Amino acid sequence: MNNDTEQYRNKNSQRKRGRPRSPEHDVAILEAALRLMQRDGYARLSMDVVAAEAGTTKAAIYRRHASKAELATAALAFLRDQRPPPATDDARADLVEELRRFRRGVERPHGMAMLGTVLAEESHVPELVAAFRRDVVLPRRQRLREILSRATLREGLDPETAISMAVGSYYAEYLATGRPGKDWSERLAATLLTPRE
């Protein structure tokens, strides 16, 4: 079990409204949804099949997720590194660490495939893209925004452009080479921030 799964279980085990939920079922449902979306795509994702794959019931899924789009988005959010970024007084180091966390999330099994699944459904299921934007993309951008507010960007570079460059550069390198080099986070920080004196 990885640390993120353990933290997800601990976090969700603290919800005490109504009937207590099983953290193990929470994780099993999300992992089943990820496997099935990777294999079959979002359009063919079925709550019945997710329930069978997760060893639970459809009612148990609906107690946690009101719709298929909500389940899919929760599963995509589960791919993210759940650990909060440690705040330090070194904005450059914090940026490098946040970029590493982003990379770990994208490079997990299902990561890039799930992004493709979401985008492929944009014209058919706009609520899925909207939920993905709300629960995955915007929180990531906010974390980067907070870090960059403490850093000194290169002259002429505004924070929103820097954030888009940060995220977009990973996808560009992935498509061009299959996977960015190990020093991608450090190279990007050096590109965005003024040099150390």
| Per-residue pLDDT, 13 | 47
State residue 112's pLDDT score.
81
Domains of the chain: 3-66 (1.10.10.60), 91-192 (1.10.357.10)
> Are the C-beta atoms of 47 and 74 separated by less than 8 Å?
no
List per-block mean pLDDT (blocks of 10 residues) for the chain, which spans 197 residues.
Answer: 51 52 87 88 91 95 92 82 75 94 83 82 86 86 94 94 95 91 95 88
pLDDT attached to residue 161: 96
